[in-house]
Structure 1
Amino acid sequence: MSERLHPSGLPYRPCVGIMLLNPKKHVFVAKRLDMISEAWQMPQGGIDPGEDPVEAAVRELGEEIGTTKAEIIAESKGWHWYDLPEDLIGKVWKGRYAGQRQKWFAMRFTGKDSDIDIETEHPEFSEWKWARPATLPDLIVPFKRQLYIDVLSEFQLILA
């Protein structure tokens, strides 16, 4: 994992992102409980100390959507980065990070929609849906839009 610092001097939080695909190649997205906007996102979360990205992706999937019925079909070649907006730096993640560096995984959902349960032990989402890949950049908060465009580009052969 390469380490780089934001101009603020803060590091980037190591994370994973998951593009979960159903048989129609639509992508799982959910609306965060802590957001007042209409923004939707794919599952993502931090990598715990001593955990590798694959382990983190499987754990995050279970923690966020209540199932791990999925198989990894692709992994991003490198890390994708995004900066928090200036007004959020120093306020989220206990002020420790300026953004995230994310390793992304495309996963094939092997369960049924009824296996998905966002009312987990520590719920993060209020609702979920399957979305066409092309709509993802318009669903996410603006400061993550380029990251979603880059992830879509990297996984374009899987989505075809």
Structure 2
Amino acid sequence: MHEGPLQGRRDPSLYRPNVGIALFSKRGHVFLGRRINAHGPFQWQMPQGGMDKGETPELAAMREMEEEIGVSPKLVEVLEESDDWLYYDFPSDLKSRLPGPYIGQRQKWFALRFTGSDSDVRLDLHTPEFDAWRWAELSEVPELIIHFKRPVYEAVVKAFDKWTDPV
């Protein structure tokens, strides 16, 4: 039985602390990256990554954004941080291939406004995780996400829909 994205009866110690980034353009679209070596129709996602020991969620979000998509924290405005941690469980086939004790991830999500230009996005500054990127309507994102992350993305869409208006 799958639970929703909120903690519910989950033990937080079994979930890797993680951050997710909804990076909004001035037009109100959100950044999506296509995972390297992903197969099938669900290969797009927003930037996300693990928190280092002692790191705050906001610092982790800024670091992950710079590592994954090359965008400097100087080129974003923080709009909102999710109130709750959002959880997802790894499917058993994925869990069997992953090292470590975690059965899933718990994420703090950030809505950020991108103040730079498209040329400021650099997928190759660090070890690439994405091989392509694009701007998308926030409402269409859950359909593009792998099934086990979809409830989290649906919650993010609901929470951050207010940031989709052009500025």
TM-score (norm 1): 0.90
Q: Contact 1:26 / 1:130 at 8 angstroms: preserved in 2?
A: yes
Q: Are the counterparts in 1 of residues 21 and 111 from structure 2 also a CA contact under 8 Å?
A: yes
SS in 2 for 1:55: helix
8 Å CA contact 1:29–1:130 kept in 2: the answer is yes
Q: Distance in 2 between matches of 1:90 and 1:96?
A: 11
Distance 1:109 1:71 in 2: 7
Matched, 1:149 2:145: no
Residue type of the alignment partner of 1:33: I
Contact 1:15/1:102 (<8 A) preserved = yes
Identity %: 46
TM-score w.r.t. structure 2 length?
Answer: 0.87
Unaligned runs of 5+ in 1: none
Residue 14 of structure 1, aligned match among 13, 17, 22: 17
Given the alignment of the two structures, is residue 56 of structure 1 paired with residue 55 of structure 2, yes or no?
no
What SS class does the counterpart of residue 87 from structure 2 fall into? strand
| Letter paired with 1:29 | L
5+ residue gaps, structure 2: 1-6
2:117 aligned to 109, 112, 117, which one? Answer: 112
User: Residue 139 of structure 1 aligns with which residue?
Assistant: 144
Q: Is 1:97 equivalent to 2:78 in the alignment?
A: no
Alignment RMSD, CA only?
1.8
